[in-house]
Amino acid sequence: MTAGMGRARKRMRVLGMLAVAASGSVVFVGAAQPAAADTQSKQWHLRAMQAEEMWKVTTGEGIKVAVIDTGVNSSTPSLQGQVLKGFDATGAPGEETDDYDGHGTTMAELIAGTGKGGSLKGLAPGAKIIPLRIADSGFAKKNSAKANDTVDAIRAAADSDARIISMSFGSPYSMGQEREAVEYAESKGKLFFASVGNDGDKGNKKEYPAAYPSVVGVASADRDGKVAFYSQHADTVDLASPGNDVPGWCDNSFKSYCQSQGTSPATAIASASAALVWSLHPDWTANQVLNVLFDTAGRDWKDGERSKYLGHGLIRPSMNVLKGKGEPGDPDISPLTKERTTGPADSSEKPADSASEQPAKNGAEADKPVAAEETKSSGDDSQLGLILGVAAVVVVLGGVAYAVVRRRKAA
C-alpha cells in the first residue's frame, strides 16, 4: 500500500475564494536494502547517508526540533520519551500530541525516532521533538480551526527551546503575518526547513513558507537519482534530501506503516541532518550550521552555482560528522540572504571566518541566474553523478489575507 502524495493531494480547501496547494518533492540515491520484515529495513536513506557510522560520533543529542504539523503522537514505540511539551495552535479540541492524521508523527519519527521494536528510526535519534499542531484543510473544515494557526505555531516555535524548525506544510500564497513570523524566528536564531512543493508538473508555483528568503526550501530525492515529475523546481530550492519510498504511518490509527513519497519526509530528514551537525558543534549559530550543509552538499558543478532542482545539492551531514569538512563561515551572515542576522547567540568573540561563496536565495539580493539547471524530460529526468560519504551514488535531483488560505501537508 502506498500512502503520501496521493492522500495529501485530496486535502485541499477553499476559504473565501482561493484554494490551497501542496508542498513538494525531488529525488535521491543509495544502496538497495535487503528484504526484511521490520520497517527500518525499508529506510534506505539511513544506509545511503551512513547513519550507523555517524551515530558513533553523534546522535543529535542536545538538539530540540520544533515540528509544525498535524500533531505528534508521543505514545508510539519510536517516540516514547522523545517528545517534549509543545503547543496546539488550532484552537480545536485536543492538544499537540493528538495527531489527527499520522503525518506529523511520521515526521517526528524520521527526525528523532528511536526505532524501538523495529519501528521508524530517526536520523537524529538523540534529538528531542517539540510538537506544534496546525490544521490541514480537512481538519479545519470539521473543527473550525483558527485561521492564523501557522503564524501562531511559527512564533511559538521561535520562542521555544528548539534550535531547528521543521514544517512539511505549504501554500502558493505569501502572507504578511506569516512572513513576519518567519523573520521573527530568524531573529531568534532558529534554522527553519520547509518543503518546496509537489506540483512541479502542474504549474510549479512557489510554495510558502519554503519560498521566504530566510527559510531553507527542501526538495525530495529517491534512491534512483531521478528528478520526480511532480517535484517543484525553482530558485526556492536550497537543498535536496531523501524523500521517496520512505515509510510513514498510514493514518491516525497508528497500526501500520505505508510507503510514501514527497518533500514532507525530505524536510524531516534535512532537519535531522542539521541536528547531527549542530549537536557536534553546539556553539555554532544557525548560519554556520547551514553554511556547512551547503558547503558539503553533493553536487557535480562548481561552488557558487545552484541547480533549480537540487539547490546547493544533496544534503550530506556525514561529510562534516565523519570527515570534518565544511566551512562554517561568518556566524552572523545568513548563507540564504547574505544579510546580517540577529539572534540570541553572542558571537562577538567568535572568529569571523570568511563565508563560503554561496548565492543568495531569491528575495534577498537581486535574483541571480540559476546555474547548472538540469533539463527535465517528460518522465525520465536527468541524473547527477555524486559521491555520498564513501559510497558512489547517483542523484538528481504577493500576499493575501491569512483567512483566505489554508496550508496543506506536503506528501
Catalytic residue of the set 264, 273, 307, 318: 264
Cβ atoms within 10 Å of 399's Cβ, excluding its own: 12
Instruction: Give the residue carrying C-alpha cell 529525488.
Output: 27
For the segment 93-136, what is each residue's pLDDT rounded down to a tens digit?
999 999 999 999 999 999 999 999 999 999 999 999 999 999 99
Comparing C-alpha atoms, which of 25, 28, 19, 23 is closest to residue 8? 23
* Least confidently predicted of 111-125, 171-185, 255-269, 355-369: 355-369
Contact 130, 86 (CB under 8 A): yes
281 carries an active-site annotation: no
C-alpha cell at 58: 553523534
For the segment 10-23, what is each residue's pLDDT rounded down to a tens digit?
233 222 222 222 33
Expressed as residue numbers, the domain containing 72 is 5-409
233 carries an active-site annotation: no
φ, ψ of residue 208 to 5 degrees: the values are -115, 140
C-alpha cell at 29: 540515491
- Give CA–CA dist 98/133, Å, rounded: 8
For the segment 319-332, what is each residue's pLDDT rounded down to a tens digit?
999 999 999 999 99
Find the mean pLDDT for residues 85-91.
Answer: 97
Find the mean pLDDT for residues 168-187.
Answer: 96
* Least confidently predicted of 1-5, 226-230, 374-378: 374-378
103 carries an active-site annotation: yes
Average pLDDT, the chain: 80
For residue 290, what pLDDT is reported?
98
CATH number at residue 77: 3.40.50.200
What is the Cβ-side half-sphere exposure of residue 201, based on CA atoms within 13 angstroms? 11
Number of domains, the chain:
1
Catalytic residue of the set 69, 136, 222, 245: 69
Percent of the chain whose predicted confidence (pLDDT) is above 70: 74
Reported pTM: 0.82
φ, ψ of residue 403 to 5 degrees: the values are -65, -15
- Give CA–CA dist 101/135, Å, rounded: 10
Catalytic residue of the set 25, 98, 103, 307: 103
